[in-house]
Amino acid sequence: MSIIYVLIPIAMLFVLIAVGIFFWAVRSEQFDDLNRQGSSILFEDDNKASNPASNSVHNTETNHPSAADSDVQAVKANANEPH
């Protein structure tokens, strides 16, 4: 029962910290423009559009299989073996 005397102040401290962080976010204008971040994923940045080779994960000009492709082939080969 004595643990409750420790847990209640700790819980109150967590609530005070959370309220403090919330008011800091409101004062620093974190919630002013909620739509910009949601719609920014729909449009490409200008600096990324100028260099399309840096956007892709795989270089499509080469015919070398990537490490991920060889891993997939190894898993498929192991799945076909009888146990």
Q: Over the stretch 2-32, which tens digit does the pLDDT of each residue have?
A: 999 999 999 999 999 999 999 998 898 887 7
Residue in the structure block whose two tokens are 């002013």: 32
pTM over 0.85? The answer is no
Strand segments, DSSP code E, in 1-83 are: none
Going by C-beta distance under 8 Å and a sequence separation of 6 or more, which residues neighbour residue 58? 66
Tally the C-alpha atoms within 13 A of residue 68's C-alpha that lie toward its C-beta: 2
Dmax (CA) of the chain: 69
